[in-house]
Amino acid sequence: KQAGQKNKTPAYADTDEMPFGKFIGKPLKTVPASYLCWLWSRRPITNVKLENYIHNNINALKKEHPDGIWT
């Protein structure tokens, strides 16, 4: 997260399972950043906890998938 940026809640943790899609049931920390970026680009995500998880981890995800569009 960026300096001064607050975490949004409610949000999933890294160990929570992906709730839908190609990686359903997999721990979120194992879901590729490229897939989360793809979801992020299609906001709003209907699952608020997942959208907040991506928001809260966006800097780490940008490092894993620097070619993604994270705006």
Q: What pLDDT digit, counting tens, does each position of 6-59 carry?
A: 999 999 999 999 999 999 999 999 999 999 999 999 999 999 999 999 999 999
Asked if pLDDT for residue 4 goes beyond 80, the answer is no
pTM of the model: 0.90
Range 28-32, long-range pairs (CB < 8 A, 24+ positions)? 28/53, 32/64, 32/65
Tell me what pLDDT residue 37 has. Answer: 97
Cβ neighbours of 62 (radius 10 Å): 14
Tell me what pLDDT residue 5 has. Answer: 73
Confidence category of residue 62, pLDDT binned at 50, 70, 90: very high
